[in-house]
Amino acid sequence: MEASELLERARSRASDPADPLEVLSAAIALCRDLSGEPGGAVDSLLDLAVCRAREAGASWTAVGERFGYIMRGPRRRFTPAFAHRHLVNRRMKRDAACSFCRRPPGPRVHMVHGEGGRICDRCVALAGDIVAGLARRGS
């Protein structure tokens, strides 16, 4: 099915067919119904609906709100509503990294875990060299 035909279907489902943002919302809902449609018809429909909304004077903020994006922070950047999962994953990776050099854990990276953090095998070797050097100087 062509994107223009799908847009007409979305327009017929919209609560106010004259409002391009309402048509965009209906197109988003229609895309959820057509998620298995072959040939990228869903992407074409969304592209066309967004273009029509922008041509009618809708702001990117208004378009983003229809997609479920939310505004956060003083710089007013868009963040998807599902971004908190990515931030949690990033925080978990950061917390699992070496507390000294921030080297991420991996199959060839050995970590020593303690109460206050973690230290990788390279930092352990470096610390051993530093302590051995101090011991030599003190003797």
Binding residues: 98, 101, 120, 123
Binding-site residue positions for Zn(2+): 98, 101, 120, 123
Cα(97)–Cα(43) distance, integer angstroms? 38
Q: CA 112 → CA 68, 75, 106, 118, 134, distances in Å?
A: 42, 39, 13, 6, 23
